[in-house]
Structure 1
Amino acid sequence: MKAIVQHCYGGPEQLRLEDLRTPEPAADQVLIRVHAASVNAYDWHVMRGDPRLARVAMSRPRGQARGRDVAGIVEAVGTEIGDLAVGDRVYGDLGESEGAFAEYAVARRGCVDRMPAGLTFEQAAALPLAATTALMGLRDAAETAPGQRVLVNGASGGVGTFAVQIAKALGAHVTGVCSARNAELVTALGADEVIDYTRTDATRTGASYDVVLDLVGNHSLRSLRRVLAPGGVVVLSGGGVFQGGSLAGPMALIVKAKLVAPFIHDRVVVLETAPSASHLAALRDLVESGYLSPAIDRTFPLVDTPAAISYLEQEHARAKVIISVLG
Structure 2
Amino acid sequence: MKAIVCDKYGSPDDLELKEVKKPFPTENQVLVKVHSASLNFGNLVLLKGKPFLARFAFGLTKPKYSIPGGDIAGTIEAVGEKVKLFKVGDQVFGDLSGCGWGGFSQYVTVPENALALKPVNFSFEEAAATPMAGVTALQGLRDKGKIKKGDNVLIYGASGGVGTFAVQIAKSFGAEVTGVCSTRNVEILRSIGADHIIDYTKEDFNQHQERYDLVLGVNGSNSISTYKRVLKQNGRFVHVGGSESQLYQTLFLGPFSSMTGSKKISSLLQRANQKDLNDLKELLDIGKVKPIIDKRFKLSEITEAFNYFQEGHAQGKVVITL
Aligned residue number for residue 61 of structure 1: 63
Between the aligned partners of 2:215 and 2:140, the Cα distance in structure 1 is: 10
Question: Secondary structure of 2:8's partner?
Answer: coil
* Contact 1:42-1:239 at 8 Å conserved across structures: no
* Contact 2:223-2:246 at 8 Å conserved across structures: no
RMSD: 1.5
- CA, structure 1 residues 72+196, in 2 after alignment: closer, same or farther (shift >3 Å)? same
Between the aligned partners of 2:242 and 2:34, the Cα distance in structure 1 is: 26
**Identical positions, percent:** 40
Residues matched between the structures, number: 318
Paired amino acid for 1:268: I
* Contact 2:224-2:246 at 8 Å conserved across structures: no
- Alignment of 1:273 onto 2:270: yes
- Alignment of 1:289 onto 2:283: no
Between the aligned partners of 1:92 and 1:239, the Cα distance in structure 2 is: 24
Q: Where does 1:63-212 land on structure 2 (aligned, <5 Å)? A: 63-96=65-98, 97-212=100-215
Q: What's the CA shift for 1:249? A: 5.1
Q: Where does 1:27-38 land on structure 2 (aligned, <5 Å)? A: 27-38=27-38
Q: What's the CA shift for 1:129? A: 0.3
> Where does the alignment leave 5 or more consecutive residues of structure 2 unmatched?
none
Aligned residue number for residue 233 of structure 2: 230
* Contact 1:217-1:253 at 8 Å conserved across structures: no
CA shift digits 1:49-89 (9 cap, x unpaired): 12244446521112211110000001111222112001000
Q: Which moved more, 1:52-61 or 1:158-167?
A: 52-61
Paired amino acid for 2:182: S
**Structure 1-normalised TM-score?**
0.93
CA shift digits 1:194-224 (9 cap, x unpaired): 1111222334311000010001151111111
Show structure 1 runs of 4+ deviating over 3 A. Answer: 52-57, 248-251
* Contact 1:95-1:111 at 8 Å conserved across structures: no
Between the aligned partners of 1:311 and 1:30, the Cα distance in structure 2 is: 32
* Contact 1:110-1:275 at 8 Å conserved across structures: no
Aligned residue number for residue 39 of structure 2: 39
Q: What's the CA shift for 1:263? A: 2.4
> Where does the alignment leave 5 or more consecutive residues of structure 1 unmatched?
241-247
- CA, structure 1 residues 69+249, in 2 after alignment: closer, same or farther (shift >3 Å)? farther
Between the aligned partners of 1:181 and 1:222, the Cα distance in structure 2 is: 27
Paired amino acid for 1:128: P
Aligned residue number for residue 302 of structure 2: 305
Between the aligned partners of 1:88 and 1:303, the Cα distance in structure 2 is: 26
Between the aligned partners of 1:250 and 1:110, the Cα distance in structure 2 is: 33
Q: What's the CA shift for 1:252? A: 1.6
Q: What's the CA shift for 1:260? A: 2.0
| RCO comparison, higher one (Cα < 8 Å, 6+) | 1
Between the aligned partners of 1:298 and 1:129, the Cα distance in structure 2 is: 17
Q: What's the CA shift for 1:180? A: 0.5
Between the aligned partners of 2:78 and 2:242, the Cα distance in structure 1 is: 34
Between the aligned partners of 2:255 and 2:19, the Cα distance in structure 1 is: 45
Question: Secondary structure of 1:95's partner?
Answer: coil
Between the aligned partners of 2:81 and 2:122, the Cα distance in structure 1 is: 29
Q: Which moved more, 1:313-322 or 1:128-137?
A: 313-322
